[in-house]
Chains A and B, each alone.
Chain A
């Protein structure tokens, strides 16, 4: 059973308390953008076998959105942070690089 700590209210929430919201840090494109950018924003996903940055909502708790970094192979949650940001905090990135040697932020995108 997956548990993730909500960075807003501090609760160690069990997954039925949470609602998954898909990949985080997408670059948004709207009307007037190039077809390929719009397509990438709507459909293309990193879907990594490994470190994944994702949106969650503490839906049956404080109700707020937040971000989490999680490994899709081991289910380890590296950390959570506020959704009011465009990239993960440096401390979290460093922590992940230490645990997953060779991993760097946005080596795919």
Chain B
């Protein structure tokens, strides 16, 4: 792999940029791999990367039915934060946030990580108490957050309307080190680094069945033929239940649509991310100047990557209350992704009833921020059978009642 650098750009400028090599190889599948990963989203690619980097396991294939990064990884609103309530969440999300800080250097790929700060508004007494509690929990966990007053909120976000028609702003949970990154670049950067280590990324190849010998996995059936493996990692977000069905077990997961939209580009008006969870909307400004907007998920099972229009209406209404100036904006694009929701709104990183099959899913509306931390922990789980970052997130927690309850903390949990 030729490294990207300012010198490389200068050299290429002399040859009209004709000399850039492909960022990753388009591999044809081998007959057998040590590890097969299903799903080339951020989580699948990061897992493959850390299997290679941290454990020297590079006889790995990442199999993707569409194009890499074309699932939720390329559809999300890129909020990165780690101000969760429970200890296991703080551990994995904070690990992830800290890996984002050095990701561009680590991958030699600019992921445009921008620690611009995330502000979660408290607009009811209940939320004030909730976020004060989260700030206290974060202090104990070593996650740097603070509860701020309405006056400070207005300083951070001058365009905000503190006395909304329904819910005045009573304060906010501020994480200054949180932020955003370029979602596609995260997938592309990991893919390039994986390919460089000899890991095969096989696109336009759908897994259609899981092959077993008794209780052990032996491989997968795909649209490009049978591929054998010792270990299988399933990281397919909204399709997790579908893949688990192929392997012969069930999951505590439901798949629903989540949408986002962007406005026309405008001059800089807001240099952080603001989430208003009571009224159900959040917003940030991209480097291009578009306002990036999201809201709540749909309420019913859906595999179509399209959501209901009334949710968009609801989201926009919430933002007009919070930032009256956005009422003049034209919206440019709107899209949806299928997110995998668990009952406690926490992910599952776990062994499964089938030996050799590992599942990483349930990130729901908030797994972009978790990509590096999840890949780091899940690679360890797949390589060693146990991982301090993942063990609390096992499938068994639902039977044992060890929930990692993040649903009370946030209505919109991105």
Interface residues of A (CB under 8 A from B): 1-2, 15-16, 19-20, 22-23, 35-36, 39-40, 42-49, 52, 54, 72-75, 108
Contact = CB atoms under 8 A, between A and B. Distances in A.
Q: Is the interface of B mostly helix, strand, loop or mixed?
A: mixed
Given A23-B254, A36-B399, 12 more contacts: A42-B398, A43-B342, A44-B250, A45-B241, A47-B241, A47-B251, A47-B253, A47-B255, A47-B301, A48-B301, A49-B241, A72-B301
B310 A16 contact: yes
Nearest to A44: B250
Contacts of B183: none
11 contacts: A1-B308, A2-B300, A22-B254, A42-B343, A42-B398, A43-B398, A45-B241, A45-B252, A49-B239, A73-B304, A74-B304
A75 B304 contact: yes
A44 B253 CA distance: 7
A82 to B, nearest CB: 19
Contact of A39 (B245, B254, B398): B398
Interface of B: 239, 241-242, 245, 250-255, 299-304, 308-310, 342-343, 398-399
A20 B301 CA distance: 9
Contacts of A36: 399
B310 A15 contact: yes
B138 to A, nearest CB: 28
A47 B364 CA distance: 14
Nearest to B245: A108
A29 to B, nearest CB: 12
Given A35-B399, A39-B399, A47-B254, A20 B300 contact: yes
Contacts of B252: 39, 43-45
B398 A2 contact: no
The 10 closest A-B pairs by CB, nearest first: A43-B252, A47-B241, A20-B300, A20-B299, A39-B399, A43-B398, A44-B250, A49-B242, A72-B303, A72-B301
Contacts of B242: 49
Given A15-B308, A44-B250, A47-B253, A54 B343 contact: no
Contacts of B398: 39, 42-43
